[in-house]
Amino acid sequence: MEIINNIIALASHLFFTILFFQLLTSVFDWHKVIKRTPENIRRLRLFVILLSAVLGYLVSHFILEVIEVCQNLFFVLR
């Protein structure tokens, strides 16, 4: 059961990280905030990758905690 939980957690973290990366690159216009130079574009790309990893992990962790609390409540009230 522990292996299944770890696989689900890893898949959830990856899913939300990729989701936030797609959202941050497609929805927000970064060129309004930063100048277009090759050095700035590399820094911006790294910033977006790190920001999407942080946001994806936070949302994934929150959802997994909510699921765990619901499971515990279900077993207590059973």
Global pTM?
Answer: 0.85
Instruction: Identify the H or E element spanning 73.
Output: helix 38-77
Tens digit of pLDDT for each residue in 25-62? 999 888 888 888 888 889 999 999 999 999 999 999 99
Q: Which domain holds residue 50?
A: 2-77
Q: Rounded to whole angstroms, how far apart are CA atoms 54 and 78?
A: 36
For residue 20, give the nearest of 68, 54, 66, 45 by alpha carbon.
54
